[in-house]
């Protein structure tokens, strides 16, 4: 069972992630932060998270936002399922490294990143939660967007130390080709650069250029994360394990 999980589970996770995103992009009605009349999904101007909106940005002739429920269901299901698969994978990954303490620590970070991946998918950014008292009076309004942003950012805050530690373990291991350790280290560098963009980069609401920068960097790092896990599993499958 553990060999099957380490060798093949990431393939299912990456396949589900890519397929759900592509289908959700196909069914996304349209609209971006700066253009609510744009038709369809724009790869360079729409965040992945906008696939998980209940309503799209685009408006009809009466000024009402169009429903995005098909895209929403596809994207949310795909994110939750692939995130769960990555959680399971990181739970089993220390077995390949003989349960070394560093691998367990790295997997704890990886598991947290996986749960954040799931929670990112199930928190629509255009929903508001109204908290009421016993009399039904609204006492607070929670923007789900804030929760979504928190979980989305923490995917990479926790993935970074996980990738860094595993880069070292892979490179030092006699079971797997050192090239995979170098590749995983490159992924760590990409995460670090993305974190810098998250912290110091411009707000996507600042300008269209800033929006494109954030959108493109988000897609690059998201694809890098899922694909690096897949590549690692291929390395394990070719190892002496």
- Predicted confidence at residue 141, as pLDDT, reads 56
Q: Residue range 147-171: average pLDDT? A: 91
For the chain, what is the mean pLDDT? 87
Residue with tokens 């499958």: 237
- Specify the 3-state DSSP secondary structure of 77: helix
Give 40-69 pLDDT, tens digit per residue: 999 999 999 999 999 999 988 788 889 999
In this predicted structure, what is the pLDDT of residue 29?
A: 94
Q: What is the mean pLDDT of residues 157-161?
A: 93
**Neighbour count for residue 178 (Cβ, 10 Å):** 12
Nearest-angstrom CA–CA distance, 195 and 216: 14
- The reported pLDDT for the residue numbered 69 is 94
Strand partners, 77: none
Two tokens, residue 130? 């109204």
Tally: H helices and E strands in the chain: 6, 4
Q: What residues pair up with 138 in beta bridges, in sequence order?
A: 132
What is the per-residue pLDDT for 180? Answer: 79
Residues 6 or more apart in contact with residue 204 via CB below 8 angstroms? 33, 47, 210, 211, 213, 214, 215
According to the model, what pLDDT value does residue 134 have?
Answer: 61
- The span from the CA of 188 to the CA of 166, in Å, is 10
Question: In sequence order, what are the residues at sequence separation of 6 or more whose Cβ sits closer than 8 angstroms to the Cβ of residue 104?
Answer: 94
pLDDT band for 30, please (50, 70, 90 cuts). very high
Q: pLDDT tens digits, residue range 176-230?
A: 888 878 888 888 898 999 999 989 989 988 999 999 999 999 999 988 888 888 8
Eight-state DSSP code of residue 33: S
The DSSP call for residue 50 is: G
* 126-132: long-range contacts, CB 8 A cutoff, minimum separation 24: 126/53, 126/54, 126/55, 127/54
On whether the CB atoms of residues 104 and 77 are closer than 8 A, the answer is no
């Amino acid at each position: 069972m553990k060999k099957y999980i380490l060798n093949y589970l990431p393939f299912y996770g990456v396949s589900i992630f890519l397929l759900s995103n592509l289908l959700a992009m196909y069914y996304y009605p349209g609209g971006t932060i700066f253009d609510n009349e744009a038709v369809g999904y724009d790869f360079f101007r729409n965040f992945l998270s906008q696939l998980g909106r209940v309503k799209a940005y685009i408006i009809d002739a009466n000024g009402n936002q169009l429903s995005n429920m098909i895209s929403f269901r596809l994207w949310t299901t795909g994110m939750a399922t692939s995130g769960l698969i990555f959680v399971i994978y990181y739970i089993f990954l220390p077995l390949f490294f003989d349960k070394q303490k560093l691998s367990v620590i790295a997997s704890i970070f990886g598991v947290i990143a996986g749960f954040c991946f799931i929670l990112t998918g199930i928190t629509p950014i255009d929903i508001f939660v109204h908290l009421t008292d016993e009399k039904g009076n609204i006492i607070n309004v929670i923007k789900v967007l804030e929760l979504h942003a928190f979980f989305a950012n923490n995917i990479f805050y926790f993935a970074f130390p996980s990738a860094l530690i595993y880069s070292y373990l892979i490179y030092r291991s006699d079971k797997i080709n050192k090239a995979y350790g170098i590749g995983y280290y490159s992924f760590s560098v990409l995460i670090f650069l993305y974190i810098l963009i998250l912290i110091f980069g411009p707000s996507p609401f600042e300008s269209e250029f800033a929006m494109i920068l954030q959108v493109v960097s988000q897609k690059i790092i998201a694809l890098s994360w899922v694909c690096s896990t897949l590549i690692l599993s291929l390395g394990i499958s070719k190892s002496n394990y």
